[in-house]
């Protein structure tokens, strides 16, 4: 299978600190990849570079045929193919759920209002929140707001979804709600890169787990590798997680 996401020798610095030190990886269409590692290992930075929220110093990144490293890249076109969900929901509090979801399709794709409303209904059905379409964010729990954030990305019909620690601000019950939605997307064939501390999700759902350490892809393999780590660094990380 050809890669829909491809990183080659990617380096990223913040000032004098090199956060990514030559990351190379390929992700195939329909693959679910969980990225794990300690804080500061470079996992969230790698995700932000894939969506060009950060500019790399050297190397190449290709996503859905877009040369992300190219300074002339059209970001609007890239972000029609790549959806991203963050730890903070970033919903507009003065807009209803429907308005939050339809904002990008209407502005970026010039989707007519009625068609955009249908997109919102379809996306909310996928995250189990059809009854909240006219609610405001303040009327929703944290887990529901995060599911709306996922629906907002789905409404653009992306080819790749990026999830950056989307459950870290949620309690265990709400975390379960959001992970259930993500498992459903995985079963539906969505290409997903998930930065997470949820080891159970990584074992159960991911086709491949990537352990990042000191800005490098340190160890990679199927979810079962978490039961038999090959490097002392991954073993220590998992022991600390327990």
Domain boundaries, the chain: 3-241
Looking at residue 1, its pLDDT comes to 56
Per residue in 24-66, pLDDT tens?
A: 999 999 999 999 999 999 999 999 999 999 999 999 999 999 9
Looking at residue 85, its pLDDT comes to 94
Looking at residue 191, its pLDDT comes to 96
| pTM for the model | 0.94
The whole-angstrom separation of Cα 125 and Cα 138 is 20
Q: What residues in the chain have per-residue pLDDT under 50?
A: none
Looking at residue 70, its pLDDT comes to 94
The whole-angstrom separation of Cα 177 and Cα 195 is 17
Per residue in 161-184, pLDDT tens?
A: 999 999 988 888 889 999 999 999
CATH class, 3-241 region: alpha beta
SS (H, E, C) the chain: CCEEEEEEEEEEEECCEEEEEEEEEEEECCCEEEEECCCCCCHHHHHHHHCCCCCCCEEEEEECCEECCCCCCCHHHHHHHEEEECCCCCCCCCCCHHHHHHHHHHHHCCCCHHHHHHHHHHHHHHCCCHHHCCCCHHHCCHHHHHHHHHHHHHCCCCCEEEEECCCCCCCHHHHHHHHHHHHHHHHCCCEEEEECCCHHHHHHHCCEEEEEECCEEEEEECHHHHHCCCCHHHHHHHHHHC
Looking at residue 89, its pLDDT comes to 84
| Nearest CA-CA partner of 201 in 172, 230, 237 | 172
């Amino acid at each position: 299978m050809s890669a829909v996401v491809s990183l080659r020798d990617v380096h990223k610095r913040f000032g004098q600190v090199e956060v990514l030190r030559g990351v190379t990886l390929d992700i195939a269409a329909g693959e679910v990849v969980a990225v794990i590692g300690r804080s500061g290992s470079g996992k969230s930075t790698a995700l932000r570079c894939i969506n060009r929220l950060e500019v790399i110093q050297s190397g190449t990144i290709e996503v859905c045929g877009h040369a992300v490293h190219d300074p002339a890249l059209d970001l609007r076109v890239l972000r029609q193919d790549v959806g991203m969900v963050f730890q903070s929901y970033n919903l507009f509090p003065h807009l209803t759920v429907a308005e939050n979801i339809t904002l990008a399709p209407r502005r970026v794709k010039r989707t007519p209002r009625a068609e955009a409303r249908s997109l919102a209904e379809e996306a909310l059905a996928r995250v189990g929140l059809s009854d909240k379409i006219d609610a405001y964010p303040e009327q929703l729990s944290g887990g529901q707001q995060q599911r709306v954030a996922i629906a907002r990305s789905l409404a653009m019909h992306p080819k790749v979804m990026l999830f950056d620690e989307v459950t870290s601000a949620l309690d265990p019950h709400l975390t379960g709600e959001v992970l259930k939605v993500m498992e459903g997307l995985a079963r539906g064939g969505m290409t997903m890169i998930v930065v997470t501390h949820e080891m159970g999700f990584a074992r159960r759902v991911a086709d491949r787990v990537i352990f990042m350490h000191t800005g490098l892809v340190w160890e990679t393999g199927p979810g079962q590798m978490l039961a038999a780590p090959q490097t002392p660094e991954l073993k220590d990380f998992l022991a600390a997680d327990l």
